[in-house]
Amino acid sequence: MDSARITRRSGARLWLAGFWLALVFIAAVAAPLLAPQDPLAQDLLYERLPPFWMNGSESGYPLGTDSLGRDLLSRLIYGARIAVLVAFTAALSACVLGSALGLIAGYYGGWADRIISRIVDIWMAFPPVLFAILLVAVLGTGLHSVIIAIAVIDWTRFCRVVRAETMVQARMDYIENARIAGFGRWRIMLSEVLPNVLPPIVALLSLEMGIAVIVEAILSFVNLSISTDDPTWGGIIAEGRLSIHQAWWILVFPLVTLFLTVLSFSQFGEGLKSRFDPVLR
């Protein structure tokens, strides 16, 4: 009974998170078709219009406008493009680099493990957000700098998890059978060990996507992300903070969108892990 209840909750969590992430992905891909207005168009006659259910709202601006008269819904939709791009590219880059080093450290051990582990310890000694700000300041503002900074900082998460899982798998009987069968080390790592460490990698990748979205929002909040006037969730939050007493919706809607997106990435990863991990099943 308890197992069935846990399975149902995990399935519901997976579907709800997947549904929200699908909406965000669709908004990012089809932003020009879904946005009701130009996200950069300014009209001071329509500044700080309230959402559609409040008095003083205008048709064509469902979630209201900001202090420059720009449509808030359109800016949130276009901001999803930046969030999705950063989430996939930065998290995937960190995943590939960290997982490769983790496999090498966990399977080979010895001097390879000691060198990689020391690098990870040194890397993780720096506060991640401050390290990201420092890297972006050195590389220059821009989306490519944000992606590089996130990948350079967060590969250590994957490295430590994959290293630990690989060390466990390397002691299994099927690894010894593969050696007896004449498999080389690289073939064993890629065809035997890697498939068995994929569930935690997938869960961590989904979580890292949420972290990447948060880091990009923080950098946008302090004006260290994209240098143009393109809408980002962090930039909208920064503007809404200045207008919280006159127009609360400018701050609340991007905050809710950011929170739901990060939470969905986390829950989606946990749902996939519990669904496909043979031990948990």
For residue 254, the domain's CATH number is: 1.10.3720.10
Q: What is the pLDDT of residue 4?
A: 55
- Tell me: the pLDDT tens digits for 181-198? 777 778 878 888 888 888
pLDDT of 143 strictly over 90:
no
**Residue 182 φ/ψ region, left for φ over 0, alpha for ψ in the -120 to 50 degree band, beta for the rest:** left
Which residues span the domain enclosing 220? 2-32+79-276
Percent of the chain with pLDDT over 70: 93
User: What is the domain count for the chain?
Assistant: 1
Q: Is residue 174 part of a domain?
A: yes
What would the pLDDT profile of 267-280 be if each residue is shown by its tens digit? 888 777 766 655 55
Judged against a pLDDT cut of 80, whether residue 129 lies above it is answered with: no
Other beta carbons less than 10 A from residue 114's beta carbon: 11
Whether 212 is covered by a domain: the verdict is yes
- Tell me, yes or no, whether 45 lies in a domain: no
Distance from the Cα of residue 6 to its chain's centroid: 26
Q: Give the model's pLDDT for residue 1.
A: 44
Tokens 């798998």 correspond to 169
Rounded average pLDDT over 104-128: 87
More confident residue, 141 or 259: 259
* Across 5-33, average pLDDT: 84
Residue 83 lies in a domain: yes
Is residue 74 a part of any domain in this protein?
no
- Phi, psi angles (nearest 5°) of residue 188: -65, -45
User: Quick check: is 217 in a domain?
Assistant: yes
Instruction: Reduce the DSSP state of residue 182 to 3 states and report it.
Output: coil
Q: How confident is the prediction for the chain on average, in pLDDT?
A: 85
Q: Residue 42 domain-assigned?
A: no
